[in-house]
Amino acid sequence: MSHHAFLTASQQKTRKKHFIILGTLIVLILITFVISMNTGVIKLTPLEVLRTLFGQGDAQQQLILFEFRLPRIVVAILVGMGLASSGAILQGISRNALADPGILGINAGAGLMVMLFISFFPSTAAAPVYLLPVLAFIGSGMTAIIIYALSYKRHEGITPMRLLLTGIAVAAGISSAMIVLTLRLTPENYQFVATWLAGSIWGSNWKFVLSLLPWLIILLPFIYSKSRILNVLNLDELTAIGLGASIEKERRWLLAASVGLAGASVSVSGGIGFVGLIAPHLARQLVGAKHQILLPVSALLGGLLVLLADTIGRSILEPSEIPAGIVVAVLGAPYFLYLLARLKE
Amino acid sequence: MATSAEGLNQLEELKRRTHPIRAIIALVLGVVGLLFAIGLSISFGAANISLGTVWTAVFHFSSDLTEHQIIREIRLPRVLGAALVGACFAVAGSIMQGMTRNPLADSGLLGLNAGAAFMLAVCFAFFPGMSYMYLIMWSFVGAGLGVVIVYGVGSLAKGGLTPMRLVLAGAAVSALLGALGEGIALYYRIGQDLAFWYAGGVSGTKWSHLQILTPWILVAMIGALILSRSITLLSLGEELAIGLGQRTVVIKVWGMIIVLILAGAAVSVVGAVGFVGLIVPHLARYIVGHDYRWIISCSLVYGALLVVLADFTARIINPPYETPIGALIAFIGVPFFLYLARKGGKEL
Amino acid sequence: MTVLEIEHVAIGYSSTLIVDDLSVTIPKGQISTIIGPNGCGKSTLLKAVARVLKTQEGAVYLDGKAIHQLKTKEVAKRMAILPQTATAPGGLTVFELVSYGRFPHQTGFGTLRKEDYEYIHWAIDVTGLKEFSDRPIEALSGGQRQRVWIAMALAQGTDILVLDEPTTYLDLAHQLDVLLLLQKLNKEEGRTIVMVLHDLNHASRFSHFMIAMKNGQLIVNGHPNEVMTKENLQTVFHIDAEMAICPYSANPICLSYQLYERDK
């Protein structure tokens, strides 16, 4: 930080505030992490959790923590980070506060694919569910490509407005296809698909962590490296061009990154759409619109939110579980409404 | 203040751009088309009945004839239900678009659909076997709940209810109520029952339901037509409307009440058939210009026509099964909407 | 010396041309102003100069090179643009927005270097925004906001500034304020300024070079003395103007005017 001298006192204060917010979020994630480790049918004390984490627990404790709870927690955090970052990018480039990964047809496409796949099998038990994340990812990717192609126009390329409108239309079309399919599913299969759609962290073993992690490891640094460009794209189009941003090219890359992040997340979590909408909003309230800080704060908020939601969903109605997507909406929406009522702008 | 002079100019502009003759032709054609579609829909079905019989069944009813019975008790209420629902959605949609100046607005935006769906889930889960009548009434209450929350949040806000805030509040309330409904449906395993209920569309409509719904809808429709001139002004911008001496708050509140009654009634009968409220007003605007007196009356007729045709298709496409009407309308609506988005003209 | 040459450009959409076969050269180190009635294509021309709109025919040359063949970032280092409808997202402070002006000079994550800070602070000082530097944009008045956008364009550190109606929505004093600032930048630092103005008297007073357009075509261009004549104003705006001399610039101004009587 060699140029502190150029910052006014209040800018330094803002900087400090940003670090405090980042730190607080990490601490909150850690706290939720420990609580989540203790949540489940078999109770473990925080001390036992810590001991087991450091290799001092007995075999059963190790099995529960390392094979069941830990991967699920990690998946929850990663999914939240991915969806929130995806939403932050979309809101940035579309300058539309309502944009979320759902707009790109991610949820709808993945959902349709899952439903189609399941409908071919007489029961969920007969279906090779390990294929689901791959299929879901293919579904969301294909939908995103279709939406992109439909909103692309020669000479003009992609405009954010047209992308949003096309996304809404395609998602609506897919949803109605799903309504038709719904009626043909067996009740058991329906229940499975409905749970999937509601967004539950069902892919909870290390394989899913491994399938998710590469996307985040590659794409999160990529989008952070584009912070500066996102800042400019977030202004109006003419100003962005005037500043020398190749908006068409940058938009395409950022959209692709956004699809990758959301698609990978949705493939293991189902439709937790609301995180992508709400986390960037909250982050903007906390740290403003500069993407260098907005992106990491959104990601951490998203991770925290999904982890918290999953933990609550697992514990509140034991032994049955409430999908995290539902808990996120039930927790997030009232807060969002409160913000809306309180804010001037 | 240049506002009022500018406003008058804009009004002049508006007059030039509306096409009363086209509007009247469109209305007449629409009504004729609607009557024809209704006749068609009544005569086709599991038992085909000639249009002549339909005529006599309606105007010279004889309770001895089975065909007359079918028409009177099953097909007629159903087709009238479809027409009412379509008209309601379309008029509610055009009011929403005019008042929010947002071409993408429809009644779903207000949390109406999610509210109705939530209440329906509650009824299915906790009061299984509730009669159709009560289900509709409770759905309506749910729709109202959604609107009240959205509006409540909006009016609590400093600086009042801006269209942007309305949209955001609507999205959040829909997410909340939607999630709650989904949670209940999952927990009590009633999701598929709900889906079947919605897929049924207007098939279960009976005279007794129409008797209850129709007066409300009629009053709201008349209200909508009375408001239409004010909505034209509002659609030019709130400041302008105030400048021209309109009490915008009063108009907005009445507008919302009318939307609630119309869309609430429609949603509670068939569920969220979103595209009607979105496409029909666009189509109407395309034909008749920007005067909401014409837009609303055209939306009324064409909304009814669209849903009657969709319901008819839903019955004949794969008999004896019914195709969900929402899916069918989306089937027409999605390409149309995509076309609008691509054209990207001033309309959208 | 010229920096910007506009050669036989046609601009518009597939069927309708808004500007047709227009050529004009913008002199270096001077203030050039485009005037003309509503819808004459002046903003469109400015957008083509700013490479926001592509020309259907002809080309705009920056220092002798066709602007569309240059890298957009390279252009942005030489020419800054202030569009008419600039809007900032919520939650940005003045300093942050002005710092975005450094975009074309940055790479990677966008950490500000010493030079960047110098430009930003200079731009904020020269536009008189120092005390607002940490305020959110939403909290500023219209006049202040306009100055923030100008500051952003200045922070870009370019020789050429292109502004589309920089004085719209400002009161008399703020309009003058902005124009005096532009004049100062031109005089003291030799920056080339191209803008669209609605106020003819401002245009005449502050410009070295004026371009009058009508129906997408160039009517007349040159020194204000040549452009601001009774005859030209009649042709371009259809007004019958009483001309006078501006006591500050000695250029012609329009004292008052009447609609020109058309033969109906």
> In angstroms, what separates the C-alpha of B122 from chain A's closest C-alpha?
16
Residues in chain A with CB shorter than 8 Å from the CB of B275 are 172
- Mutate which of C119, C125, C134 to disrupt the A interface (most A C-beta within 10 Å)? C134
At B339 the pLDDT is 82
**Surface of A (288-317) touching C: CB under 8 A:** 288-290, 292
- Mutate which of B177, B192, B194, B331 to disrupt the A interface (most A C-beta within 10 Å)? B192
Backbone φ, ψ for residue B318 (5° rounding): -150, 60
State CA C4 to chain mean position distance: 13
B with C: touching (≥3 Cβ pairs within 8 Å) = no
Number of residues written out for chain B: 348
Beta C192-196 vs C160-164: how paired, if at all?
parallel
User: What is the fold, at CATH topology level, of the domain defined by C2-259?
Assistant: Rossmann fold (3.40.50)
Neighbours of B155 (CB within 10 A): 11
Q: Within chain B, where are the H helices?
A: 3-17, 20-43, 51-59, 66-70, 76-100, 112-126, 132-156, 163-187, 191-199, 207-234, 238-243, 248-270, 274-288, 292-316, 325-343
Average pLDDT, chain C: 88
Q: What is the pLDDT of residues A94-151, one digit of tens each?
A: 887 778 887 778 888 988 998 888 888 877 777 777 788 888 889 989 998 998 888 8
Which of B184-188, C112-116, C199-203 reaches the highest mean pLDDT?
Answer: C199-203
Cα-Cα-Cα-Cα dihedral sign, residues B197, B198, B203, B209:
positive
- Those chains having 3 or more beta-carbon pairs within 8 angstroms of chain C are A
Any C CB within 8 A of A284 CB: yes
Residue of A nearest to B168 (CA): A98
Beta C79-82 vs C160-164: how paired, if at all?
parallel
How far is it, in rounded angstroms, from Cα A112 to Cα B142?
28
CB distance A244–C74 less than 8 Å?
A: yes
CB distance A10–C134 less than 8 Å?
A: yes
- Those chains having 3 or more beta-carbon pairs within 8 angstroms of chain B are A
DSSP bridge partners of A75 = none
Beta C31-35 vs C57-62: how paired, if at all?
unpaired
Neighbours of C89 (CB within 10 A): 20
Residues in chain A with CB shorter than 8 Å from the CB of C103 are 228, 231-232, 243-245
Do residues C46 and C162 lie in contact, with contact meaning Cβ atoms separated by under 8 Å? yes
At B12 the pLDDT is 56
**Residues of B47-69 as b/e, b for ≥16 C-beta within 10 angstroms?**
eebeeebbeebeeeeeeeeebbe
At C264 the pLDDT is 40
Beta C252-259 vs C239-245: how paired, if at all?
antiparallel
Q: Which two tokens stand for residue B277?
A: 């409220």
At B9 the pLDDT is 55
A63-71 — which CB contacts under 8 Å span 24+ positions? Answer: A64/A40, A65/A37, A67/A205, A68/A40, A68/A204, A69/A36, A69/A37, A69/A39, A69/A40, A70/A37, A71/A204, A71/A205, A71/A206, A71/A208, A71/A209
For chain B, domains (ranges, CATH) are 27-43+73-343 (1.10.3470.10)
Neighbours of A180 (CB within 10 A): 17
Q: What is the pLDDT of residues A147-165, one digit of tens each?
A: 888 888 776 677 777 887 7
Q: What is the pLDDT of residues A186-244, one digit of tens each?
A: 888 888 888 888 887 766 778 888 888 999 999 999 999 999 999 999 888 888 888 88
Do residues A69 and A36 lie in contact, with contact meaning Cβ atoms separated by under 8 Å? yes
* Residues of chain B scoring pLDDT < 70: 1-18, 46-47, 158-161, 163, 200, 320, 344-348
At A77 the pLDDT is 94
- Mutate which of A241, A249, A294 to disrupt the C interface (most C C-beta within 10 Å)? A241
At A216 the pLDDT is 93
Using DSSP, state whether B136 is helix, strand or coil.
helix
At C98 the pLDDT is 92
- Name the CATH superfamily, with its identifier, for domain A58-279: ABC transporter involved in vitamin B12 uptake, BtuC (1.10.3470.10)
Q: Which two tokens stand for residue A79?
A: 């999914």
Using DSSP, state whether C23 is helix, strand or coil.
strand
Q: Which two tokens stand for residue A173?
A: 């079309």
Average pLDDT, chain A: 85
Region C160-184 average pLDDT: 89
Region C207-227 average pLDDT: 92
Any B CB within 8 A of A190 CB: yes
Q: DSSP letter for B323, please.
A: P
